[in-house]
Structure 1
């Protein structure tokens, strides 16, 4: 069954993004992924185990954790 895994990954440049993309491209079961440098967010879709995705992305040396579901109401009210 297809699963969506969302991670928070400390990425500071396009090189970091490239490293994350490389490990995800090689990972079995991944159907698609999106790496957002600005948001520090990696979304992976496919027949994957969340824990395995976390460990695989961690191998890049970047601090990686599951994206906590935060309230969407953090809009700037200025």
Structure 2
């Protein structure tokens, strides 16, 4: 998870870019922070999806095969 300081900085840079604009250094920092945020988000989402088990109303496991394979691959590595 991304630290709250970094999230706050992303928001500051976003507001500044909409009002007065960013310097070249700030634009590079914004790009770097956004990339880091997206990597963190994707990792978290992937982890959530890999730990999901889908059940139908009768209680049968209907988890998609792709999710099962990803989970098995994760635990084998």
Structure 1-normalised TM-score?
A: 0.24
Max Rg structure: 2
Question: More relative contact order in 1 or in 2 (CA 8 Å, sep 6+)?
Answer: 1
More strand by share: 1
More helix by share: 2
